[in-house]
């Protein structure tokens, strides 16, 4: 009986943690937050076959360890070139921090990743935004991710996040 109750409690805790992650409430002791997934690709004719940036919705809160004094946003990118010649792609970011009713630019690299990918090849990885200091209670950030396939298509996606130091 005790084993069954313990199993139910463990499953409930895991489901609760999963639900919180789905809602965008993430616990991170290190203060590292994956904020975007960028997928780019070209078809054999050179057009954009994949072109998307997935970010959690506006107003999502991230919780980090009370002892963490900074946050680091990470952008994951992948690019697949199906052309018979090389192709350039780029991923970048701008991060603003709210201060009262104003926004202050705190990190900026519009072409943080700028790579040529050979014919029928691919490239992927993570690009980290430099660590950003946090106030005692937490801060609100606006993150804009820029992404383009050079000469084919470019775009950007922006979201606003709250980061709390409250675990």
Which of 138, 163, 133 shows the shortest CA–CA distance to 60? 163
DSSP 129: P
pTM for this entry: 0.79
* CATH architecture for the domain at 25-165: Sandwich (2.60)
Distance CA 95, CA 131 (A): 11
pLDDT, tens digit (0-9, with 9 covering 90-100), for 118-166 = 999 999 999 999 999 988 778 999 999 999 998 888 999 999 999 987 6
Which residue's structure tokens are 């052309």? 83
pLDDT category of residue 77 using cuts at 50, 70 and 90: very high
Bridge partners for 114 per DSSP: 90
Q: For residue 19, what are the contacts with CB-CB under 8 A and spacing of at least 6? A: none
């Amino acid at each position: 009986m005790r084993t069954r109750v313990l199993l139910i409690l463990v499953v409930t805790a895991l489901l609760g943690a999963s639900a919180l992650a789905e809602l965008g409430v993430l616990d991170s002791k290190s203060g590292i937050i994956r904020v975007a997934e960028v997928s780019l690709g070209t078809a054999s004719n050179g057009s954009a076959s994949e072109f998307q940036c997935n970010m959690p919705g506006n107003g999502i809160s991230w919780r980090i360890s009370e002892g963490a004094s900074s946050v680091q946003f990470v952008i994951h990118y992948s690019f697949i070139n199906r052309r018979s010649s090389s192709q350039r792609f780029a991923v970048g970011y701008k991060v603003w921090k709210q201060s009262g009713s104003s926004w202050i630019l705190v990190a900026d690299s519009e072409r943080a990743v700028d790579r040529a990918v050979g014919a029928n090849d691919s490239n992927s990885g993570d690009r980290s935004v430099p660590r950003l200091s946090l106030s005692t209670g937490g801060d609100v950030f606006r993150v804009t991710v820029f992404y383009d396939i050079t000469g084919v298509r470019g775009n950007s996606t922006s979201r606003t996040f709250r980061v709390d130091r409250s675990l």
